[in-house]
Amino acid sequence: MIVALLAPLAACTTKPIAEMSYTEVKVLADEIIERCNDQGVANGSPEMTICLRQEVGREDATRAANAQRRQAFAQALSQAGDNMQRQADRQALINAAQANRNISCRSTGFGNTVTTNCY
């Protein structure tokens, strides 16, 4: 019964159920049963079914939230990379514009000193 309840879940918080082996599903099922036992629920009791459903739902919600966080993080990294590339492109344009501009210099002398200003 517990294996059927776990069908929508993954063996770990990152692995989809379609990629899980039977052994991985069994390990997760045992972990969920242990959670219920740790809460004082006896194996085979009517309360165990309720506990298992609740814990499976909790597991499913946790996995969904983790997947959302991973996706948001990946999206943020991608956006940061895009922003860095745009900034590098802008800086390259600025550097190219500065390299190609005309520079005028004017030197003035006073005694043994010459001052040059370029703009």
- This prediction has a pTM of 0.59
Q: Which domain holds residue 61?
A: 2-118
Q: Which of 61, 65, 60, 57 is nearest to 10 (CA)?
A: 60
22 close to 71: Cβ distance less than 8 angstroms: no
Mean pLDDT of the chain: 82
Taking residues 71-94, report their average pLDDT.
89
**DSSP at 15:** S
For the chain, how many structural domains are there in total? 1
**DSSP at 43:** T
**DSSP at 110:** E
**What pLDDT, on a 0 to 100 scale, did the predictor assign at position 46?**
95
Taking residues 10-25, report their average pLDDT.
70
Whether the pLDDT of residue 1 is over 60: the answer is no
Share of the chain above pLDDT 90, in %: 34
Phi, psi of 34 (to 5 degrees): -65, -40
